[in-house]
Structure 1
Amino acid sequence: MEQQQKRTAGTAACEPQIWLNSVNKKNKAELLEWLESANVKLVQINGQRTYGGPPPGWVGDAPPFGSEIFIGNLPQEVYEHVLIPLFQRVGKLYEFRLMMTFSGLNRGFAYARYPTKRVADLAIAHLNGHEIQPGFKIVVCRSTEKSELKLDGLPGFVDKASLERILGGMTTGVRAVYLYASPTSNTKNMAVVKYNSHREAALAKKSLCEGVQVLYGCPFTVDWLQQSMKQKLHAGTLPKPNSYLPQVCQYDNVKEEKFAPNAVQHLHLFCEKLKLGQPVYQIKFLGHGTFGWLRFWYKVVIPGHDVPFTGYSWLVGDKLIPTEKYQQAKEMVALRILKELGLIVE
């Protein structure tokens, strides 16, 4: 019986892979042959398979906005060995991205980027409505090329330079960061983050949405910048960002009037004022989550306080050097302790 169960379990484990390999087997084989004969390399990341960006031998900057086209109504069994040569008839491709399902079929749409807007216009004119298979006329139009993200709910003490550094460690292709007052909170801020391309912005959105979205103890949201907000941005009507440092307020009839540039120093000043002894931090990083999240455990002992502060949290930025990781984690922990003690007024 045990051997039968093992054979059954082994068969069940193999079935999904057998099924995946059997889907569209003929076209997959033709794709592999074309890749080898044409010496083309494709890279698959996060559900999309990419050629170029830039292609081999490319010299110069990436193409301007407006040079990318959207390709829709694709038969799901059609791959790059058919699509890339078709779109190369119009002109040299800088990049081609085919959206893929887990089974190895395409998701029915793709993006192609040309060196100039003029060549992209030619592709739209010549290939929109092209019958790629009997009964399948593809749709070709200009891509919307979203490249701006909105991060809302950021703490007011995080300045532009700090945010640029954090995002630079978490994502790639950041072109500009702008801070404004949050439309949903009187004390928080909103950031508009511009990326060099739609692809980099989409990967950044996926990365930032992974795991727990908390920055220095404050939850934040990530979304595409909507048209209504974009219009306000261009019109210059978005309000200036809030700027505050956590204030230390009453605790056992003692009020701290001093300000410090960060939460660690605020806690230090508070403990010094009440003669509690300085906090002792113990921080242990437990491992990497996906897309740059670091989980850590902490314990902080304040000699004059009866109970140590312990817990778990997440930190953005696995590309930080060890000292930076420790300092950012320490800052998050100090801010959390100040909140737990009721010493922060936002």
Structure 2
Amino acid sequence: MLGFVLLQPKIWLNNVNRNNKADLLNWMKSNNITLVQVNGQRTYGGPPPGWVGDAPPLGSEIFIGSLPQEIYEDVLIPLFQSMGKLYEFRLMMTFSGLNRGFAYARYSSRRIAEQAIAFRNGYEILPGYKILVCRSTEKSELEVDGLPGFLDRATLEGILEEMTTGVHTVSLFASPTTNSKNMAIVKYSSHKAAALAKKRLREGVQVLYGCPFTVDWLQTSIRQKLQDGTLAKPQAYIPESFNSQIKQETPAKSAVQCLQLVCERAKLGQPVYRIKFLSLGTCGWLRFWYCAVIPNHSVPFTGYSWLLGDKLIPTEKYQQAKEMVALRILKDFGKCLVFSVRSCIA
């Protein structure tokens, strides 16, 4: 019997595709099955109940595309489980409760994955709907660019292990795009771990020790240079005064003040912040949850972020967290407001 953990019912909008959702719930109930949904994907297994041993090797995952949006796991899991033992099944979901047209199935071996591709590619899952099944690329490497030269590999690895899970290796090179900055290539234990790490690192304002950084999948051109051994050694620049460098990069007006001005001009009302601090890591990284409500804006801004908070008193932690939340909101507002946010911080 399949085994799942809790399905969060709040993300289901029952007025969309109601009948098929009811069929899925009946299937779950009759088989004593529950599902987990996190970050836009609903997951079975990883590992499934009763699994013994290590995770399957690379090459055991398949990509399933061209799915009709109205079908769910009650159809998909039995279809693909008939090929062999599933280690994990992930269906990508929209907030309306439809699937996003694709899924991933990870089997216990490469052989079973190849068999599933051979027998299920082009399968007519509904009249007129043939699905695409092929090998998953299983990306597991991220590039983190724009890192300060004084950040060594061991410290960066410690930060990443606190902020993400499944870090396998961290390699440091000179940035191919920015002088005096470095780039890290971070390999994770699986595609799923890498994808979640990419999302988490993008959740907050992407500034590390005063230096803006970017996070993305490892580009093919960078991978080729890595294989050829042509990536330059990392920079070793150490500024005279780390604190003064950050101060010089801080705008004259704070993000909180700027957001207040933006809301005042747009007649939205003043923002109200709620911040809840979570655990403090050994490298000093403090993760927090936030909810910012702007009275005349349709939805609140919520999410998670993190800051370097081991040497901050509680009031400083709160103010820095508010700054990061305000910056995130300003970034979102900048796409839709008539006037430029930049004028607030000039």
TM, length-normalised to structure 1: 0.69
SS at match of 1:55: coil
**How far apart are 1:200 and its partner, in Å?**
1.1
Match of 1:324 in 2: none
Match of 1:105 in 2: 98
Match of 1:62 in 2: 55
The 5-angstrom pairing of residues 181-330 of structure 1 reads 181-247=174-240, 263=242, 287=277, 288-289=288-289, 290-294=303-307, 313=320
Contact 1:286 1:294 in 2 (8 A): no
Contact 2:62 2:106 in 1 (8 A): yes
**How far apart are 1:292 and its partner, in Å?**
4.2
Q: Aligned letter for 1:152?
A: D
Question: Residue 37 and residue 199 in structure 1: after superposition, are their counterparts in 2 closer, same or farther (change >3 A)?
Answer: same
Q: Aligned letter for 2:143?
A: K
Q: Aligned letter for 1:64?
A: P
**How far apart are 1:25 and its partner, in Å?**
1.3
For 2:89 and 2:188, the matched residues in 1 are separated by 19
Match of 1:76 in 2: 69
Q: Aligned letter for 1:293?
A: W
The 5-angstrom pairing of residues 95-134 of structure 1 reads 95-134=88-127
Please give the root-mean-square deviation of Cα atoms over the aligned residues, in Å.
2.8
Question: Residue 286 and residue 52 in structure 1: after superposition, are their counterparts in 2 closer, same or farther (change >3 A)?
Answer: closer
**How far apart are 1:39 and its partner, in Å?**
2.5
For 1:91 and 1:67, the matched residues in 2 are separated by 11
For 2:16 and 2:179, the matched residues in 1 are separated by 54
**How far apart are 1:211 and its partner, in Å?**
2.1
**How far apart are 1:144 and its partner, in Å?**
1.0
Q: Does 1:139 align with 2:137?
A: no
Q: Does 1:174 align with 2:171?
A: no
For 1:286 and 1:55, the matched residues in 2 are separated by 33
List gaps (5 residues or longer) in structure 1: 1-16, 249-262, 267-284, 301-308, 316-346
Contact 2:61 2:135 in 1 (8 A): yes
SS at match of 1:222: strand
Question: Which structure's CA Rg is the greater one?
Answer: 1
Contact 1:170 1:292 in 2 (8 A): no
Question: Residue 132 and residue 146 in structure 1: after superposition, are their counterparts in 2 closer, same or farther (change >3 A)?
Answer: same
Contact 2:149 2:182 in 1 (8 A): yes
Q: Does 1:162 align with 2:155?
A: yes
Show CA shifts across 1:81-140 (max 9, x none). 100000011100000000001110101110000111111100000000000000000000
List gaps (5 residues or longer) in structure 2: 1-9, 246-274, 278-287, 290-302, 323-346
Contact 1:92 1:115 in 2 (8 A): yes
